[in-house]
Amino acid sequence: MKITKINHIGIAVTSIDEALKIYTDVLGLKVQSMEVVPEQKVRTAIIPVGESKIELLESTDPEGTIAKFIEKQGEGIHHMALEVDDVQAALGVLTGKGMALIDQKPRKGVENTQIAFLHPKGTRRVLLELVES
């Protein structure tokens, strides 16, 4: 398993449109893409920053993961995504090392990626996402 970079930082927001005012109008960053991922009940905005990205996450369902996160924790950093060359192989390595996983196999992420989440109970309460571009 090779981790190549921090792919993105995911930030949970109640409104992407409101949050974008800070990132675009104030900070001068540009939105690369916006996408709805129905399976995850989320709308996203991808904002490149150097070799990494900021991913704004807005729930499309009051029962969705992001809505529940905001309800408990408020808006803010939701997860950090690490880019790997092969998500499936990385999951095998991590399982062999006893790491608790949320996803046992890769699933579809934004921008045609394959993703998988590690369980925060095994990562010192940090939600880590593996991303294969």
> What is this structure's pTM?
0.95
Over residues 92-130, the pLDDT tens digits come to 999 999 999 999 999 999 999 999 999 999 999 999 999
| The pLDDT of residue 95 | 97
Cα separation of 88 and 100, whole Å? 15
How far is the CA of 38 from the CAs of 17, 58, 60, 93, 108, in angstroms?
19, 12, 8, 29, 11
Region 85-94 average pLDDT: 97
| The pLDDT of residue 133 | 86
Domain 3-132 in this protein, CATH class: alpha beta
Domain ranges of the chain: 3-132
| The pLDDT of residue 9 | 98
